[in-house]
Structure 1
Amino acid sequence: MKLVDQQIRMIIACLMLFGLWAFPALSGAQPRMVPATFSQLAQQAKPGVVNIQTVKTIQGGGRVFRHFFGSPFGNQPGLEDFFSPFGRMPRNRTESSLGSGFIIDKAGYIVTNNHVIKDADQVKVILHDDQEYDARIIGVDPVTDLALIKIDAKNLKPLTFGSSKDAQVGSWVVAIGSPFGLEQTVTAGIVSAKGRIIGSGPYDDFIQTDASINPGNSGGPLLNMDGEVVGINTAIIKSGQGIGFAIPSDLATSIIDQLKDSKRVSRGWLGVSIQDVSREMSEYYNLEPGEGVYVAKAYEDNPAYEAGIRQGDVIISVMGEKINSSRDLTLTIAGLKVGSKADIEVIRQGKNKTFTVKLGERPDSLENSQFGEERNRFDDLGFMFKTLDEELADQLGYPSSIKGLVVTRIDPGSQAAMSGVRVGDLLVEINHKKITGISDYTRVMRKIEKGETAHMLFRRGNSQIFVVRFKK
């Protein structure tokens, strides 16, 4: 009898174990998390993944070509044929590259990386059944490395987006793409980490995965076990093993929608210089460790300042969402619609205050800026600017009533370097449009078409005014 009881208990235990295994919802495990479904997922998703081939023209034959085949005596007539093993030196050459992408709707829109199609003269899309189509570029967002292209084709099988927020660390994911030009390659792995910052820009928020990603995978989808796109494969660590990065779908979808609707991306803008709250500052302001973002400066005539936010405020939430770092604030504000109103809660002198801010548009030139109104990279003309403030005006001897952009650096060999403009000169107008800050400069220059002339009015010191013409 005792033996029979033991057998019954063993049978019940086995049934319970089998039941929990067979019905993962009862055990708390995620459904369809076993590798046996990889083949079904791949078969279902592969028709939505494409191979992208581009051709671009390299001016002057390229640096490598000139290095090996150029004349050691410079550009002297009659010497090109002698020193070039291919006869006369080519002025241009073409270069091909490969990448991946995925279809997002039956109208033919395809998502890929900006670096896959950047500066391309021709973009060709190859479907899973080897059909080839010429694609046109709809819009790009270099800051997040996303691009939207389109083909005219029928019977397409698009992929659907899932939420990257729901992709848990340790969950299975599948990457499909064309590594090294090997089309429709399927690799599997897990989500290794989330929220990775790799130094590519102000909106770094990558999914890290150990699913094998190699050159050529760029722009391809990272799929969950439901076949939904939770990431766009974008970057790898050189010489890294099992370390790849994907743009989260939750970040990408809003950008893709904007590219589809208006062919460009606009982001919310406060107009503040911010920094993370240190441990000492947390104690001083009586904050929880890691809570809030310190406003180092609120720029006049910008949305935050006009709403009442000032230097010394600590921003702790936006629209009820907690803010724990500068990155949190940057991502949150950038994700809000330009012109919308955002309730921003701050701590000022130990008291909580809420301000309603009508968001402006973040100027493109500030995307990589450390401070709110400073351009920290050369523009297409070769200038680097900083908005004139009281401190800078005192240093350079400009009256405090004057507004404009101070030239802080000039790129050697650029149009700017050959124009006679000097560091310290103040840009006040472009084509009779007042320039009071970087946002003005970006807006005016964006309206000037390639090949047109920009007439720039500069001031040097308190008396000298001069105009310089630039061909865009």
Structure 2
Amino acid sequence: MHTGNLMRARLVVCLVAALSAGCMPRSAQPSVAPDAVITGAKPATQHQPAPGIVTDFADIVRRNGPAVVNISAARGRSVANLTPLWPPASNEHDPFVQFFRQFSPGRPSESILSSGTLGSGFIISSDGYILTGAHVVAGASQVNVKLTDHREFKGSVVGIDSPSDIALLKIDARGLPTVRIGTPSDAKVGQWVVSIGSPYGFENTATAGIISSKGRLLPDETYVPLIQTDLTLNAGDSGGPLFDLNGDVIGLEAPAHPAFQGLSFAIPIDVTMGIERQLQLHGRVEHGRLGLSVQEVTAPLARSFGMAKPVGALISSVDENGPSAKSGLRVGDVILQLNGVTITDSTQLPMVVADLRPGSVVRVEFWRDHGTHEASVMLGALQGYSLVSDVPAQATVGQIGLTVRSLTSEELSKAGVNSGVRVERSAGPAALAGIQPGDIISRVASTPVSSPAQLRDELSKAGSNVALLVERNGHPVFVAIDLG
């Protein structure tokens, strides 16, 4: 009987074990030794991390932060001694005077009432040369430079170049950390960049973003085509370095522009270093000047001038006493070459001219009346920011549709033009082109117009494409209209 019970117990145990094994979850893949090869088996899919996402800029900041400096520039004037109104002048030992003196400020000696600016800069040589923005130190009576190790130095201004907004400083120090100069032309739109600066005086602050555009020219600001980024920069950041992901400087931060909130701009470092060399050698930089304004040649404008393709820089205004006017260049000409250098677009011309010295004679090839011509121009000297301005043209389609009237002598004088007609009504294609009531049309292509009748005559001879020079708020711009 004991033997039968033992057999039944063993049977129950085996049955329970079998049922338990059948209910246990099975692994999807059999366990295989690392060196085993399974013939005919499908390899498991490998999920790679998404490339191109950068989240750590710490190494760039660690390596370059010590070479970025905080700059404070004081501007002040002396004032005469001030005599306190209270307490009244009396015997120095009078108890009444001594009592009230504790509540009155001490009598000041000659003092300085000062204001100033904050900015950033970066060390380019171990013996103390520093680059920053010209606006940071221009007109300063004293410049202080603070390093990340808390040492402070009095900075001397080696030179300032206002047109490019670049300044070179020098401090009396040796063995300083320096940045590494990069190549802006290698940078691409969409790439990450890092800036280190001193917003509101908070030194060594890092900000990251991407390059939004290259070769951006800001009218009436600088002749240099700028690097545009989406970095968030504030007062005190300007003059600081813009780094690529290799930790190389590719730009010098320009001041925040009030008209372009959310956008930041940097001067390409190759332009900056060219200016730096001249400042270090001569203390100043001389830029050539043509004495004209240019704009982009769009496809409609190119067709209206009989050009095969939209290239060059279209002259939209000429200084009547400037070098170009003396050489016969006029509004409506398209500059194609300067000293043999092909001008592919309007942003290229200011850079080519600015690199030449005043007094240089340049050979200009230009397009006029459906053909190429040449002129020799002796460059003048650039005295401010305005080398040439780049005014974006507007694309247009359709028929003309304008109502205009002649200008009074007062209106001509106020607008600063010698001839033109005032737009009273703009409809249809003219309105689509951006022409507004109050605008002044001064030319059809290169021909000046002074009356509504003359405008009608010139438009009737223009063919299927016409370019109008429109003046608004003192800014001339060509507008192309397709009459086809």
* Alpha-carbon spacing, 1:102–1:88, altered in 2? closer, same or farther (3 Å): same
Q: Is the 8 A contact 1:222 1:231 kept in 2?
A: yes
* Alpha-carbon spacing, 1:343–1:187, altered in 2? closer, same or farther (3 Å): same
Partner amino acid for 1:362? A
**SS state of the match for residue 133, structure 1?**
strand
Displacement of 1:50? 0.9
Give TM-score scaled by structure 2 length. Answer: 0.59
* Alpha-carbon spacing, 1:251–1:193, altered in 2? closer, same or farther (3 Å): same
- Tell me the equivalent position of 2:343: 322
- Tell me the equivalent position of 1:243: 263
2:175 pairs, out of 155, 159, 173, with 155
Q: Is the 8 A contact 1:207 1:231 kept in 2?
A: yes
Displacement of 1:308? 7.2
**Alpha-carbon displacement from aligned partner over 1:11-66 (angstroms, at most 9, x marks no partner):** 6xx49x68x96xxxxxxx7xxx7333x121111111211111222214669xxxxx
- The structure showing larger relative contact order (alpha-carbon pairs under 8 Å, at least 6 residues apart) is 2
* Alpha-carbon spacing, 1:199–1:349, altered in 2? closer, same or farther (3 Å): closer
- Tell me the equivalent position of 2:232: 212
Partner amino acid for 2:276? I
1:140 pairs with 2:160: yes
Measured in 1, the distance between the counterparts of 2:300 and 2:278 equals: 41
1:363 pairs with 2:363: no
Measured in 2, the distance between the counterparts of 1:78 and 1:46 equals: 48
**SS state of the match for residue 272, structure 2?**
helix
Equivalent residues in 2 for 1:7-406, closer than 5 Å: 7-8=42-43, 10=44, 14=46, 34-36=54-56, 38-58=57-77, 92-199=112-219, 201-203=221-223, 205-237=225-257, 242-272=262-292, 274=294, 276-277=296-297, 281-287=301-307, 290-295=310-315, 313-318=333-338, 319-325=340-346, 327-338=347-358, 342=362, 344-353=364-373, 357=376, 360-365=379-384, 367=386
* Alpha-carbon spacing, 1:5–1:151, altered in 2? closer, same or farther (3 Å): farther
Q: Is the 8 A contact 2:129 2:170 kept in 1?
A: yes
Displacement of 1:194? 2.9
Measured in 1, the distance between the counterparts of 2:296 and 2:86 equals: 61
* Alpha-carbon spacing, 1:55–1:208, altered in 2? closer, same or farther (3 Å): same
Q: Is the 8 A contact 2:226 2:266 kept in 1?
A: yes
**SS state of the match for residue 215, structure 1?**
coil
Measured in 2, the distance between the counterparts of 1:349 and 1:91 equals: 66
Displacement of 1:289? 6.0
- Tell me the equivalent position of 1:465: none
**SS state of the match for residue 134, structure 1?**
strand
**Alpha-carbon displacement from aligned partner over 1:196-249 (angstroms, at most 9, x marks no partner):** 445552425332323332221121101111111111122225598753222222
Measured in 1, the distance between the counterparts of 2:135 and 2:384 equals: 19
Give the root-mean-square deviation of aligned CA atoms: 4.2
**SS state of the match for residue 180, structure 2?**
coil
Displacement of 1:136? 0.4
Q: Is the 8 A contact 2:223 2:387 kept in 1?
A: no
Q: Is the 8 A contact 1:49 1:100 kept in 2?
A: yes
Displacement of 1:182? 1.5
Identity of aligned residues (%): 33
Q: Is the 8 A contact 2:72 2:119 kept in 1?
A: yes
Displacement of 1:160? 2.6
* Alpha-carbon spacing, 1:286–1:60, altered in 2? closer, same or farther (3 Å): farther
- Tell me the equivalent position of 2:453: none
**SS state of the match for residue 206, structure 2?**
strand
Displacement of 1:153? 0.8
Displacement of 1:5? 4.4
Measured in 2, the distance between the counterparts of 1:226 and 1:60 equals: 51
* Paired positions, count: 341
In structure 2, stretches of 5+ residues that fail to align are: 1-37, 88-103, 391-417, 420-484
Displacement of 1:281? 4.4
Partner amino acid for 1:126? K
Displacement of 1:112? 0.7
Q: Is the 8 A contact 1:233 1:246 kept in 2?
A: yes
Asked which structure has the greater CA Rg, the reply is 2
Measured in 1, the distance between the counterparts of 2:385 and 2:143 equals: 29
**Alpha-carbon displacement from aligned partner over 1:360-379 (angstroms, at most 9, x marks no partner):** 342315737879xxxxxxxx
Measured in 2, the distance between the counterparts of 1:259 and 1:222 equals: 21
* Alpha-carbon spacing, 1:122–1:369, altered in 2? closer, same or farther (3 Å): same
* Alpha-carbon spacing, 1:282–1:42, altered in 2? closer, same or farther (3 Å): same
Give TM-score scaled by structure 1 length. Answer: 0.60
**Alpha-carbon displacement from aligned partner over 1:43-97 (angstroms, at most 9, x marks no partner):** 1111211111222214669xxxxxxxxxxxxxxx999779xx8688988512344
- Tell me the equivalent position of 1:400: none
Displacement of 1:174? 0.8
